């Protein structure tokens, strides 16, 4: 008789253990988006206030952009010069430059011919001892210098006649690309001096005041993104196989009488806390899987983070 009573008690206890509702404790949390200052510039004006709901693209604050605009003008000028230089290399020299180079070469040749003739005359006089050695040396120097200028002018004319080389064109194209990249970088930095909301959400915090100069890399605004918070819960191992992304749930928030609808937006594929390999078959129910349940319905946008919640899933029991 005692054995029968004990067996019935065990069955009753087991029935209580596995038929209770799948209520899981958790906590409310918002998706926090921290916006940082990329440049150490003063805040000129603040266009939003803490607690204000923002849409993606709404302006939050504006930093001083005068220095960056000056760099933008400089970058635009460098790009224009690089484009003009490349166009010149592709077009080749103008006809006027070629005419001028031909004239320069003709003048240099005439000067060289005169210098050589003068040298020859002084050499003849020197043999007759009618010219000094110093005068002859000076004539040799002038002849050599004028011949060098003539060769240089001829090389310049040849360069103009043959046009730009392939290497010069490649260098010109690379300079244009470098100038374009620099201009794009400055434009991005200029845009980021206007701090805008990257997503819809609630502006939670503005750590700096008007006129302050936030250090580069510091958080200047905190946005609670999305239309409402989510519940962070740890799903026990017996329920994990029956839950997936999109599974429906009911969420009860401490201090609020109503029940909010919820839907799993994320559930971990890996167990938390105790490693699976260290558990016996009897203890595997201690495994937990992190899940995020997105709340929906009227009033969710006003729920603060950190509140305790109880989450139950449709048709599931522990």
Mean pLDDT (10-residue bins), the chain, 318 residues: 40 39 84 94 95 94 96 96 89 70 80 83 78 80 86 75 73 94 96 94 94 95 92 89 92 92 93 58 68 92 91 76
C-alpha span between 160 and 128 (Å, rounded): 47
> If you ran DSSP here, which 8-state letter would residue 304 be given?
P
Domain 22-64+202-313, CATH: 2.40.30.170
Tokens 């260098």, residue? 171
C-alpha span between 204 and 317 (Å, rounded): 38
Please choose, from the candidates 184, 294, 186, the residue with its C-alpha nearest in 3D space to the C-alpha of residue 247. 294
pTM, entire model: 0.61
C-alpha span between 30 and 35 (Å, rounded): 15
Q: How far apart are the first and last CA of the chain?
A: 31
CA distances (Å), origin 192, targets 56, 62, 201, 216, 256: 15, 9, 19, 12, 41
C-alpha span between 289 and 130 (Å, rounded): 113
Sequence-ordered list of residues with C-beta below 8 angstroms from that of 120, at least 6 positions apart, any chain: none
Q: Say what the pLDDT of residue 132 is.
A: 81
- Contacts of 53-57 spanning 24+ positions with Cβ under 8 A: 53/200, 53/201, 53/202, 53/203, 53/301, 54/197, 54/200, 54/201, 54/202, 54/203, 54/223, 55/197, 55/200, 56/197, 56/198, 56/199, 56/200, 57/196, 57/197
Backbone angles phi, psi at 36, to 5 degrees: -110, 160
Tokens 């490693």, residue? 275
What is the chain's alpha carbon radius of gyration, rounded to the nearest angstrom?
42
């Amino acid at each position: 008789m005692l054995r029968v009573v004990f067996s019935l008690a065990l069955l009753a206890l087991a029935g209580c253990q596995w038929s209770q509702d799948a209520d899981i404790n958790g906590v409310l949390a918002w998706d926090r988006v921290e916006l940082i200052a990329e440049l150490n510039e003063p805040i000129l004006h603040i266009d939003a206030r803490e607690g204000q709901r923002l849409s993606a693209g709404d302006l939050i604050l504006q930093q001083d952009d005068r220095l960056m605009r000056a760099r933008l003008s400089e970058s635009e000028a460098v790009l224009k010069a690089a484009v003009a230089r490349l166009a010149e290399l592709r077009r080749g020299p103008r006809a006027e430059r070629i005419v001028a180079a031909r004239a320069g070469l003709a003048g240099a040749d005439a000067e060289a011919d005169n210098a050589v003739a003068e040298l020859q005359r002084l050499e003849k006089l020197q043999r007759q001892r009618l010219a000094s050695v110093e005068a002859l040396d000076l004539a040799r120097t002038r002849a050599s210098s004028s011949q060098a200028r003539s060769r240089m002018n001829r090389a310049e004319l040849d360069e103009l006649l043959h046009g730009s080389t392939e290497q010069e064109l490649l260098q010109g194209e690379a300079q244009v690309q470098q100038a374009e990249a620099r201009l794009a970088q400055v434009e991005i930095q200029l845009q980021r001096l206007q701090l805008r909301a990257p997503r819809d959400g609630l502006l939670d915090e503005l750590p700096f005041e008007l006129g302050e100069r936030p250090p580069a890399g510091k958080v200047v605004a905190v946005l609670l993104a999305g239309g409402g918070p989510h519940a962070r819960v740890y799903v026990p191992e017996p329920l994990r196989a029956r839950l997936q992304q999109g599974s429906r749930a009911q969420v009860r928030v401490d201090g609020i009488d109503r029940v909010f609808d919820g839907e799993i937006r994320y559930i971990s594929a890996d167990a938390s806390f105790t490693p699976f390999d260290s558990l016996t078959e009897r203890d595997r129910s201690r495994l937990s899987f992190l899940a995020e349940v997105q709340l929906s319905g009227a009033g969710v946008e006003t729920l603060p983070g950190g509140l305790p919640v109880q989450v139950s899933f449709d048709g599931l029991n522990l």
